[in-house]
Amino acid sequence: MATYANVIFVFLTLTLSILCLCGLALTDEAHKGGFSLQLIHRDSPQSPFYDPTETPFQQLHNALQRSFKRVNHFYPNKKRPQKTPQSVMSLSHGEYLMKYSIGTPPFEVMGIADTGSDLVWLQCKPCEKCYNQTDPLFDPSKSSTYQPIYCHSKVRESLSQNGEASCHSGTDPNCEYSIAYGDGSYSNGTLAFETLTLSSTTGSSVAFPKIPIGCGVNNGGKFDPKGSGIVGLGKGSISLITKIGPSIDFKFSYCLLPNFESKTTSKLNFGKNAVVAGPGTVSTPIKHDPVDTFYVLKLEGISVGSKRIELVDDSTSNDDNGNIIIDTGTTLTFLPAKFYAKLESEVAAQIKLERVHNPEHILTLCYKSPPKKVIVAPPITAHFTGADVVLNPLNTFVSVSHDVICFAFAPVETNSIFGNMAQMNYLIGYDLVKKTVSFKPIDCTKM
């Protein structure tokens, strides 16, 4: 796997946080605290990325390839940065999308929903240099609520003290952002306050004024032309979750459909709709991480049936530290290589099927598909601090061809990731006040 360069990311400070909350006026629905959105898998017919010529196996192959590319974006060069937040993906590497509108009147955008990044950004007119986007570009000159962040403002003073913003010369120059991705892609443009509107599944809309956005006017690289930007759902200070936090009680949740079910969409919930409780619910603390963006948990071990394998990691011996990122943008689950080897050995010992080679040479533990592709396998339990999450075969095995099924975990030398396949058919809730992630087994097709 390739090694990626660090990401340069503009980070707004506490001063910006305070300014963004001033004059916050929300709809009645937002005040009530609960609403839900559609969360669209990129291979769903509702997605602009959908390719009807691809078979499900080709879609899966592409998703697995994206997983391996994405894993290195979290902490490039095998080192964890101490201060600089990162945007960890390019538009071609996301798995779920959401619709939102920007500006007044609202201009609809389809962006990648990413729990591994913070800034909301999109391409804007007039573009100095933009990648060829299929959908129309947002024109800030036609929005009555677009407000650039000027370098002479109090916000600029705080940013300049920390070297976090650049400015043009001249009168009332704009504050700029710059993002560089490990694959050579980049986005540069103006930081601004703008109204962001979310359309709920009930048909009503929820408007949030003065949300910091990046209006990209110089963008290029390996971006998919069907993409319209990123919606940062991380926990950093400028993420959408943080900015709308007071109105949603700093809670959100999602329920990912199994096997990329295309007849309906997954759900992304906010506020009261995001509460995860009731029988079967387990919760684990969100742990400390050098990068504020990421949701990091502590994985203590994994059981295969009744056989428990402990995860010993000297680098995270401190109870306050986590060792695995929970991420919607990565399909596979990645574990430390030595730990993975023990896990794979135990899974192989307990499954009595014919071993075969993966024709795609991506996953290492593969079997000849049993009749009707129903695999008899012991439950695999992920033991997070205070929370045992039982994974069923739909979370742990995937059909890579008509006659081959493989274990959906992989070894990694750098960063452990709890991927979206392991999260399917769980209602997963994030409470940023209690600093917990909760899991509740549920049939997501019935939500």
Active site residue 183: no
Closest CA to 408 of 337, 334, 356: 334
Task: Indicate which residue of 114, 224, 289, 431 is catalytic.
Answer: 114
Rounded CA-CA distance 29/271 in Å is 10
Q: What is the dihedral of CA 397, 398, 399, 405, to 10 degrees?
A: -30
C-beta separation of 239 from 417 below 8 A: no
Rounded CA-CA distance 103/108 in Å is 9
Rounded CA-CA distance 399/374 in Å is 10
Rounded CA-CA distance 382/61 in Å is 25
CA angle centred on 444, ends 442 and 447, rounded to 5°: 100
Active site residue 327: yes
Handedness of CA 391, 392, 397, 399 (dihedral sign): negative
Q: Please return the burial class of 236, using the count of CB atoms within 10 Å of its CB with bins 0-12, 13-18 and 19+.
A: buried
Task: Indicate which residue of 183, 289, 327, 431 is catalytic.
Answer: 327
C-beta separation of 365 from 407 below 8 A: yes
What are the catalytic residues?
114, 327
